[in-house]
Amino acid sequence: MRRRSSTFHRVLLLILAVSLWGRALARADEGMWTFDNPPLAQLKERYGFTPTREWLDHIRLSSVRFSDGGSGAFVSPHGLVLTNHHVALTQLQKLSTPERDYVRDGFYARTRREELKCPDLALDVLVHMEDVTARVHASVRPGMSEREAFEARRAEIARIERESREATGLHSEVVALYHGAEYWLYRYKRYTDVRLVFAPEQQIAFFGGDPDNFTYPRYCLDFALFRVYENGQPLRSEHYLRW
């Protein structure tokens, strides 16, 4: 009984942390920034905070991208990942059976053996960034039509991604920023063994519906927990957000 109470209190603390984090995001009006170009001057002027490169790298390496859409973060040294319930919804649907509706009823693994392996989910961690703007722009020659220029850029991007995968073994993507003014090569460490740990029932996770989605504080349990495994064992995550 004490053990279940302790787990409950830890979950409450986690929810509080997520709520406070969300309120801070709601007050921010700077927009979204890439890790290579954080708004250092604005942060210093408005909040008296100057993040170091080490701090930014820690946040980046603690963050994950879900292959089916959404993001999350490592919150323990044992591969535990926190995200929103609506991010987990697709996997809850795929894991459900006629006998067990995890969307409606939720899910809680009391032990690691009870964690459910997601059939086709991968989580990506951004481990390296490289500015490849000059190379992509150089692929367009004077006199090309708009269509020819588009095809030239696309072919060069495909070459960059292929060369990166072959050289590093990492999942590699070239992203266009600022409407094509810059192109960056992002290399991700991809984890394909991801298991569901916890998700509340939908009625409490989605309480308030879409109208409350960007309202803080709000009264719903919009979170879920996954765990990343590597070589059959929980990932020893060096970078994670403490709570």
pLDDT tens figures, 62-117: 999 999 999 999 999 999 999 999 999 999 999 999 999 999 999 999 999 999 99
The least confident of 24-38, 57-71, 146-160, 193-207 is: 24-38
pLDDT of residue 199: 97
Q: Mean of the pLDDT values across residues 195-221?
A: 83
Unique residue bearing structure tokens 């495994």: 229
Distance CA 228, CA 14 (A): 19
Say what the pLDDT of residue 157 is. Answer: 98
In this predicted structure, the answer to whether residue 3 has a pLDDT above a threshold of 70 is no
Peptide bond into 217 cis (omega under 30): yes
pLDDT of residue 30: 55
Spatial contact of 42 and 30, defined as CB atoms under 8 Å apart: yes
pTM equals 0.82
What are the CA-CA distances from residue 96 to residues 116, 176, 231 (Å)?
Answer: 10, 37, 26
Strand 193-199 relative to strand 107-108, pairing: antiparallel
Segment 189-210 shows an average pLDDT of 91
For the chain, what is the mean pLDDT? 88
pLDDT higher than 70, residue 159:
yes
Q: Dig out the tokens for 53 from the structure.
A: 């490169």
Tell me the pLDDT tens digit for each residue of 15-70: 444 443 444 444 445 578 899 999 999 999 999 999 999 999 999 999 999 999 99
Burial group, residue 21, by CB count within 10 angstroms (0-12, 13-18, 19+): middle
pLDDT mean over 205-231: 84
C-alpha–C-alpha distance, residues 130 and 175, integer Å: 10
Q: In the chain, which residue ranges form alpha helices assigned H by DSSP? A: 2-27, 40-47, 53-62, 85-95, 102-105, 133-138, 146-168, 202-205
Give the mean model confidence (pLDDT) for residues 146-164.
98
